[in-house]
Amino acid sequence: MLVVTLTSQLVCVQETPVDTGMEAEAEELEGESSDERHGEQNGMAEHVMLSRAQILEMEFANPDEACHFYEQYSRAKGFSMRQGKKMKNRKGEIVRYTYLCNREGFRHRKWLQMQDRKREHKVVTHCGCQADMRIKRKADSTSWYVCRFVDEHNHDLLPAKFVSYLPAYRKISDVDVAHIESLRQAGGFNLVPFTKRDMYNVVRRQRAMHCGDVNAALRYFNSCARAYENMYWRYQVGDEQ
């Protein structure tokens, strides 16, 4: 049992078993999924909050670090990125990298005017977008700094929930492949002995067991304490916990 003291009041919160009703769990899962997605996006949203001036002041230990930053920035912003041209000095050392919006440039006219094609044209995605980030290596140093940053796009940016479907970010993990194979061995995706709602209910129960009512109560009291200066609370964990 978790005892929570709230000013002069005493509130007892006890872990309760999870309701296994399918309809109730499905509704709770739908309500919780948006919050969890929002929490997962908070890390990437920090990149969007950076201003152009702040990004131009950034330095990186190596080009890979800069590439990772711009990739996370593009994900949060709603577009995909790719690496552009590199510039070398007289010694053959790379001294400049450019990272572009994936819709930079245009498709060559010859591919659009080709006759007797065996397949239809792919969707034209390149529209000459000028958004990019360029880094240069500091003189007499191993660090890199942002020397150019353009954040204006000439196309619509995707909502966060669709970014993972961009070709640059769309991928199937080894775990997903194993799951697909297990479903195939079961006789096909349409022959598995459960519905999508059953799957959601199992996920909901697992999340509830992991978080629990006690942790939910602690999060609630924490949020109240931040909202109200005069509120004070403490809790004590029993020996059986």
How confident is the model over 74-122, as pLDDT tens digits? 998 999 999 998 999 988 989 999 999 998 988 777 666 667 767 666 7
More confident residue, 31 or 210: 210
Rounded Cα distance between 134 and 149, Å, is: 6
pLDDT tens figures, 181-233: 877 776 666 777 778 888 888 888 777 766 666 777 777 788 888 888 777 77
Q: What is the pLDDT of residue 62?
A: 93
Is residue 12, in this structure, part of any structural domain at all? no
Residue 113: exposed, middle, or buried by beta-carbon count in 10 A (0-12, 13-18, 19+)? exposed
**What is the distance between the alpha carbons of residues 143 and 59, in angstroms, rounded to a whole number?**
7
In-domain check, residue 14: no
Distance CA(224)–CA(139), nearest Å, equals 52
What would the pLDDT profile of 132-164 be if each residue is shown by its tens digit? 999 999 888 889 999 999 999 999 998 988 888
Confidence of residue 71 (pLDDT cuts 50, 70, 90): very high
The whole-number pLDDT of residue 154 equals 92
Amino acid at 107: R
The pLDDT score that the predictor gives to residue 218 is 77
Domain that includes residue 161, residue range: 50-171
Q: Is residue 211 situated within a structural domain?
A: no
Domain count, the chain: 1
Looking at per-residue confidence, does 230 or 128 come out higher? 128
pLDDT at 49: 72
213 domain-assigned: no
Evaluate whether residue 199 is within a structural domain.
no
Residue 36: predicted pLDDT? 46
pLDDT at 169: 84
The pLDDT tens digits for 43-69 are 555 666 788 899 999 999 999 999 999
Residue 108 lies inside a defined structural domain of this protein: yes
28 has a pLDDT exceeding 70: no
Q: CB of 34 within 8 A of CB of 128? A: no
Q: Is residue 181 part of a domain?
A: no
Work out the number of other CB atoms within 10 angstroms of the CB of residue 180. 12
Q: Is residue 189 part of a domain?
A: no
Which three-class secondary structure string do you get for the chain? CEEEEECCEEEEECCCCCCCCHHHHHHHHHHHHHHHHHHHHHHHHHHHHCCHHHHHCCEECCHHHHHHHHHHHHHHHCCCEEEEEEEECCCCCEEEEEEEECCCCCCCHHHHCCCCCCCCCCCCCCCCCCCEEEEEECCCCCCEEEEEEECCCCCCCCCHHHHCCCCCCCCCCHHHHHHHHHHHHCCCHHHCCCCHHHHHHHHHHHHHHHHHHHHHHHHHHHHHHHHCCCCCEEEEECCCC
196-227 and 22-49 helices, crossing angle to 10°: 60
